[in-house]
């Protein structure tokens, strides 16, 4: 099956599972509702069993109940199977708070991958998902090559899922997997942003050559590009001063053109033609609306040239200029997939 057409802006559903801070079931449902009600509907939704030990999938499933299944694209992930806790065993949040009584188990067997997907379908309350990614497998490549990818490819061949790929934040490993395997799409987080070009140098050339589509995550580099200030996070730790200074300088240049840094960060990855969608997490309806507004912000070509002129973007990287691959206001939200 071909990769389904993806809206340019997608909703990352890790925050629905109490990522770093707890939200209520009602807040989670309102977040998803806002995605569907946005001026440019945000109808690509990505989740995973890892997110809150199944809570993201459960909350997303309740929020999707009663909606036309053809009205949205849904992806989840395999590689970590969930099991009930043994007596006396405590759950490991791994960044998620108030988690249910479950544990994660790495499992790349054919039976394990099928069971993981079946568990996701039950929590989501759907008969099928569109895309399944093998999740954070950089330390498990022997198992991926031995059994994991073949098991996922079998599910694609059987029509159980439409498209398969890998999701992680290590672009060099993604590049190797795309070069070696029949991958439809990859989800690359944090490595192709205003502040980092790693994926441009290793992953994106391979994807362009192989025809593999790219979904980008982490466009704000875990927060620095959303709100550059002392102590702001970059790659889940406090940002080094050099990167903070660069982000502040970018914010200054963007501001001279009336463009918020968030809007520039959201638009920039689409400068590369292999990028078809950007996933942005949200934990409230207001955050969804802000993301949609930032994505639709008008950005003059002169701003990108100014960033290059001040040495804030390398002169050899592509720019999302008007009429290029970036989807600006009025563009087809499903184009590019």
Residue pair 187/46 in contact (Cβ under 8 Å)? The answer is yes
User: What is residue 147's DSSP assignment?
Assistant: I
Say how far apart CA 265 and CA 246 lie, in whole Å. Answer: 13
Within 8 A by CB and 6+ apart from 257, the residues are 299, 300, 302, 303, 306
**The residue count for the chain:** 337
Say how far apart CA 281 and CA 210 lie, in whole Å. Answer: 28
Both tokens assigned to 172: 């060099």
Inter-CA distances, 296 with 8, 41, 245, 289, 293, Å: 11, 12, 26, 11, 5
Q: Which of 44, 51, 200, 268 is catalytic?
A: 51
> Residue 74 forms beta bridges with which residues?
45
Within 8 A by CB and 6+ apart from 201, the residues are none
Residue 135, helix vs strand vs coil: strand
List phi, psi (to 5°) of 149. Answer: -70, -40
Does 51 qualify as catalytic in the annotation? yes
Residue 263, helix vs strand vs coil: helix
Radius of gyration of the chain (CA): 19
Sign of CA dihedral 252, 220, 33, 6: positive
Inter-CA distances, 74 with 57, 266, 282, Å: 11, 21, 16
Residue pair 142/173 in contact (Cβ under 8 Å)? The answer is no
Residue pair 246/312 in contact (Cβ under 8 Å)? The answer is yes
Q: Please give the positions annotated as active site.
A: 51
């Amino acid at each position: 099956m071909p990769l389904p057409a993806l809206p340019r802006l997608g909703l990352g559903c890790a925050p629905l599972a109490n990522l770093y801070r707890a939200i209520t079931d009602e807040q989670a449902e309102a977040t998803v509702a806002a995605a569907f009600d946005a001026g440019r509907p945000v109808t690509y939704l990505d989740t995973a069993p890892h997110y809150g030990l199944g809570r993201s999938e459960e909350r997303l499933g309740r929020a999707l109940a009663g909606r036309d299944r053809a009205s949205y694209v849904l992806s989840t992930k395999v590689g970590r199977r969930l099991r009930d806790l043994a007596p006396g065993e405590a759950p490991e949040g791994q960044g998620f708070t108030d988690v249910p009584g479950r544990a994660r188990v790495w499992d790349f067997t054919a039976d394990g991958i099928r069971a993981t997907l079946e568990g996701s379908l039950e929590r989501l309350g759907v008969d099928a998902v569109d895309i399944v990614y093998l999740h954070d497998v950089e330390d498990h490549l022997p198992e991926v090559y031995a059994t994991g990818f073949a098991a996922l490819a079998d599910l694609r061949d059987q029509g159980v899922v439409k498209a398969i790929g890998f999701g992680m934040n290590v672009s060099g490993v993604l590049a190797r997997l795309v070069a070696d395997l029949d991958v439809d799409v990859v989800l690359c987080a944090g490595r192709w942003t205003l502040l980092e070009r790693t994926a441009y140098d290793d992953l994106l050339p391979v994807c362009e050559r192989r025809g593999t589509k790219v979904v980008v995550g982490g466009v704000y580099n875990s927060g620095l590009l959303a709100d550059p200030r002392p102590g702001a996070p970059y790659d889940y730790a406090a940002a080094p001063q050099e990167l903070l200074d660069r982000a502040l300088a970018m914010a200054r240049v963007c501001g001279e053109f009336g463009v918020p840094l968030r809007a520039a960060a959201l638009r920039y990855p689409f400068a590369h033609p292999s990028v078809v969608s950007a996933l942005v997490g949200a934990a409230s309806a207001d955050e969804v609306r802000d993301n949609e507004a930032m994505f639709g912000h008008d950005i003059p070509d002169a701003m990108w040239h100014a960033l290059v002129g001040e040495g804030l973007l390398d002169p050899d990287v592509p720019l999302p200029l008007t009429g290029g691959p970036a989807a600006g206001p009025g563009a087809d939200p499903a184009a590019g997939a």
